[in-house]
Structure formats: C-alpha cells, structure tokens
Amino acid sequence: MTLTVAFDLNRWMAAQLDAVERALDSWVSVDASADLDHHAPADLMAAMRYAVLDGGKRLRPLLVLAAFEAVSAGPGVPPAPRLEEVDEAARRGVALDSAAPEQAALRAACAVELIHAYSLVHDDMPCMDNDVLRRGKATVHVQFGEASALLAGDALQALAFELLTPELTVMSAQQQAHLCRLLSRAAGCTGMAGGQAIDLASVGLQLSEAQLQQMHRLKTGALLSASVMMGAACANIHSCATGALQEYGAAIGLAFQVVDDILDVTADSATLGKTAGKDAHSEKPTYVSLMGLNQASAFAKELLNQALAALKRSGLADVRALEALAFMVVQRSH
C-alpha cells in the first residue's frame, strides 16, 4: 500500500514535534506559573518532567495537529517561540491575532499528551501492570518511588485541564468547555479508565472478539479518537466532516492496539522501549491470543483501510497528514 498523495511525513512531524516539545518543556515547569505566589514542589515537578519529556511517539499530539490542519486548511502550528508572546498577551488581556486557533490546537495537543503520560505512570505501578521499563528508561515509580509517581500522575492530569482553560483571549469559554468535555470523556470511566478497569478484570479470562474490541476502544482508542476530534474542534469551523473524522479516529485507535498486541510478541524490549512479552506473561487477552498472529495482522490492515476510506468520505481538501499517520500506526515497528 502507498499513500495516494505524496507527503513528507518526516518533515511535517519534525516541525510539529518541535513545537510540542518546546511547549511541554515550557508548561511542565516549576516556572510555568511565575505570575502566581507559589511554585510546584521541585521534587514533584522532576517526576512530572521525567514522565513527559524526552520520550514517546507523541502520536496523540500529532493527531490533534493533523486534524486541526485538515479542518482549517491552515498552515499549521507556528514556531514555539511564539508561545511566550501569546501567553504574555493573555496575561495582559491583549486581543490576539489570527494565531489564536493555532495556539488552541497546540494547547490541546499538549493536554492530550499529559493525559496519556499520567495514564502510563499509573498503569506501570505495582497495583496495576507492575512494569519497570517505559520509553526505554525506568518507570516513574521505580525512579521516584510509588507515592511520588502517584502524585505526579495526578498533577499531570490536572495540568492537562489547566492548559485547556487559559484566559479567554486565547480560547473562548465555549471552546474550552467543548475541549474539556471531549478530553474528560475520553479519559474517564467510559473511556481510558473504564477500559483499564476491564483490562484488569480480564486477566486470565478468554474474551470474545466483541468484548476485546470494546475493552480496547475504551482503554486505547478513546483517547486517540478524542485527539482527532479535539484538533478539529480547535479550527473554530463547523465541519460536516465530523462523522468521517470520528470513524477515522475509531479505526486507527483500534488499529494501534492491534499492532501493539502484535509487537508484544514479535519485538524485543530494546526496540519497544518497554517490557516485551508482558501481556502473555500476565495472561492478558490480546488480539494475537484470540486470532493468531496472521489474522491479527490482517485485521490491522483492514482497520487501516477503514480509516483511509473515512478520510475520503470526509470531503476535506487536505488529509495527507492524517493519512500518513494512519499508515505509521499500522506499519510501525515499536
């Protein structure tokens, strides 16, 4: 399979990731709230930064930014140094120029990544998956202790919603509420947390395909799908493509987990950056254990085709970034 339109994904990703990394480094910082009378404890912030910075594929932020570009047909996120200008304008109550939608998208991208990072910190703890390796380094509870890891996860979750509720000069109250609703539903009991609860309750059990699919649509797919919809919402444009984008997000959200299950049995820990073979060792139900390796691979390709078909139905003028990310999800090696 090849992309229908030539697109330099690496070049596009480099620009987006540079903006995201700079923004995360700025916002997950002891000095991020310099205008307040207090600062975050240094030890807590160290654990938060360890959990967020210098690692991860950043797929969720990339989906936010790709969907934003597709809906708005805009030039994309501006260079990160502009963040200081925007935040200063917000503090002084100065009206922003046309960069405001791009800044909303960048905030949404970082908020989604903070929620993802918090979930990994908590999932790796002994009371959950009890893992010691994440993103090629020791997990947060191994590095900082269980209590600090728990608090770091809590603080990252709170910070995500703080990013989505800036001064009204950056985002309107209506947009803030919409983005918070999308993210909270994806992260809560009918999304990621609910999926994790099902996962923990399913250890040692044999689930049907429908049950396994429901678990992963919540645990993994909900946040990936929400990333797409949050990016579209940041464009400040009503789009008839909403249904198609929801289908795209659902398809790649499930495809990501199918490929994760495949890589758990075909790749090593060094490649994955996390413990390989953990699912089988923990007797967790996976697509490989249910379908077998070949059928699981075929299912991932089927989901890719569903995602690409949804993009074609969207009617959006430029979906190359979303298309390329769908291929990346299914064809990745880690």
Tens digit of each residue's pLDDT (9 = 90 or more) over 194-211: 999 999 999 888 899 999
More confident residue, 292 or 77: 292
Residue 122 has pLDDT above 80, yes or no: yes
Residue 91 has pLDDT above 70, yes or no: no
Residue 252 has pLDDT above 90, yes or no: yes
Q: What is the mean pLDDT of residues 154-170?
A: 94
Band (pLDDT 50/70/90 cuts) for residue 75 is very low
More confident residue, 303 or 237: 303
Residue 323 has pLDDT above 70, yes or no: yes
pTM of the predicted model over 0.85: yes
More confident residue, 280 or 81: 280
Partnered with residue 138 across adjacent β-strands are 133
Band (pLDDT 50/70/90 cuts) for residue 276 is low
Band (pLDDT 50/70/90 cuts) for residue 56 is confident
Give residue 146's pLDDT: 97
Q: Which two tokens stand for residue 31?
A: 């000095």
Band (pLDDT 50/70/90 cuts) for residue 36 is very low
Cα–Cα dist 164/7, whole Å: 31
Give residue 30's pLDDT: 77
Mean pLDDT of the residues in the chain: 86
Which amino acid, one-letter code, is at 122? H
Nearest to 277 by CA among 267, 291, 287: 267
Residue 329 has pLDDT above 80, yes or no: yes
Sign of CA dihedral 87, 89, 95, 100: negative
Q: Which domains does the chain have, with CATH numbers?
A: 9-331 (1.10.600.10)
Give residue 93's pLDDT: 43
More confident residue, 333 or 17: 17
